Structure 1
Amino acid sequence: MKRELLVGVLAVSLAFSTWVAEPAFATGTNPEKKLKEIQQDKKKAKTDLNKTQAELNEKKKKLQALEEQVGKLDEQIASHTKKLLDNQKLLEKQDKQFKETLVRMYQKNELDYTAQLLASDSFSEFLTRYETLRVILKRERAILEGYIETKNKIEKEKAAVEAKKEKQAPILKAAQKEYQSIKSVLAKQTNNLEKLEHQEELTKEAIEEKNRLVREANGMYSGRGTGVLQWPANGKVTSGYGWRSGRMHEGIDVANSIGTPIYAADSGTVSLTKSNPGGYGYYVVINHGNGLSTLYAHMYRSTVTVSVGDKVRKGQRIASIGNNGRSSGPHLHFEVHKNGNPVDPMKYLP
């Protein structure tokens, strides 16, 4: 009797447990089904990411072509600007001589020169005085002509700068339109693109060229900063200064969304702007004086608001974070150079 009762209880318990389990699987908690859904979601996310990246790459190619044209014109403008500044410095030196010569020529008119010649006691003395006056007049004429020539050169360089800027304007406008298109794609796919690693694959040649250009540029333009830097952009530091993947990473990477403002880390003079689509994208160098300069890279030229020779103040917006050059995600590559050599930016930042 007891045995029959025990068998009955077990039968009821088994039936009850089976009845409870069936609804649980029916509500979607089946582990195999859940795993399959997760895998499908991941596959779709990866597909979306690849599609977005392909679209971005296509747009980047179009923008890169425009930025290369703008970059070449930037270099020509920078060359004319340097000549303009050199001639302005020369004119400052010539100005004093020019004014003194005008006063002297006004005080000593042609009659005075003629009187000096006629006062000669002999023909040989006449020739001596004539030669002396000829040398003086030649020198004074050279001073006047040199001053006028320098002024003409300044006007010529100013006109060349304006002409290049006028030629550049429509190309820059097209680049800005393409840049806004990229921003639109990024805004729609922010979550997916956050999965991208912010990596640079810069060549040794690109790094060496960058350092050489920075040294040369700092010899042309002087700046005057405080020596204490502020953060150039808001964001997360995704890579620090030091060795990385078998090469030296000569700055820090600050990751944030495309379009995030970039500020001058200190006051100074813009000493270099460079288009480098195969490496640092578009980059800007500011000379702060006392051997200190800063570099900002991977921007799009269409967002840069400064040019070579411009004086900038600490905290002034100079560009926006981009994804230009050999960069797999939007970020600012920021460097500090001391006496021509890259150093750890973190030593200068608060």
Structure 2
Amino acid sequence: MNHGRNDGFAPCHSPVAMVTAPSESCSPYPDSRSTHEAVHHSPYMQKPFFSIIIPAYNLENYIAAALQSVLVQTFQDFEIIIVDDGSSDETVSIIQSFHDPRIHLVSQVNGGVSRARNAGMKKAVGAYIAFLDGDDYWYPEHLELAADFFNRHPEILAYANRYMRDELEAIPPRPPSYPESIRRLGIRGVLFMHPSSVILNSSLASRLPPWEEAMPYGEDGLYWTRCMRGTGLIGLGGSVTSIYRQRASSAMHDEHYQHVSLHSLIAPLLNELEAMKNPKWQFAVHYLVIRELHPKRLLSLNAEERISLTGRIRKIMHPCLNRPFLDSYMKACSARAGMEQSFSALMDRTMFSCKWLDRLERMGRSLFFRLQTNNGMEGKHQDPARSRS
């Protein structure tokens, strides 16, 4: 395992390992190898610490920067699995120009980013699964900070460093760092997650349902919510180490998003919430649901559909903290007056609930750990039953 700083590409002349996805009959590249051969010739005799999954579709202007940001990481024990999602530009040629045996290229017919991530995860053998979209990039210490956290907290199965948007096609200034923390996913942790910032223990990832391939929008929020099936906590790094590029095509994506049906966005999240033991306290997921209830989208439903949907949401939401604001918003929509203001108040109240409960929960957990530490210092002959009470 190499923990030293690497200031350039790995000095290796082996070609990129090429793997054909199951949906393809053969590889379109010369010197192609079967999946078994590519794995057999991996440079690792043991599992790498990280498997990095990079979906790529027509990213000839971005994929090189994404790959380079991985290869210059200060933590070097990883494999890179790039899934080309049927690109028609020079994306594949650019990937092939990188000569590092840790890079494995998977080719598939265009099926969307979720299918690409699922294909990459099937090939992954690392102890932890890291995601990086092919048009985003990392700062050099991204993996090192995550590895350090997991080594100190092996019981935590999910981690995310802070991220920020790059809307100007330039390296943005980095904001100040904050102390790392451990948060409840359902209270606020889910809101800190972005695909290019998240790393999961492979044991957790293997237990989760795959990325939802039928959802062109909102699939990431659903996947993070499903993480709560296997873990309630997430480690949050204090430094910005991942950059999310806001491209022109992303703006087009956002425009199409405005016309997606409300049911297709909310129903999967509500299904997950209703299956949870304590849905009323999962305010982060409430926020993911509420943010889709924008007036234009909600008014696309008829009155009966609105009543049915919001009635389902009311049953899940906490009766004191959010329901009055939801009821006020529904009245505004019925009257076609003050909708934007009521929606803004509902969003603000839900976010306030997330922050308030998050702070309260962390204070309680901090007090618990302090009490445990103090009890441990009182002596080895303390009654074990008393220490567990």
Structure 1 or 2: larger helix share? 1
Higher RCO structure, 1 or 2 (CA under 8 Å, sep 6+): 1
Structure whose alpha-carbon radius of gyration is higher: 1
Q: Normalized against structure 2, the TM-score is what? A: 0.19
Q: Normalized against structure 1, the TM-score is what? A: 0.20
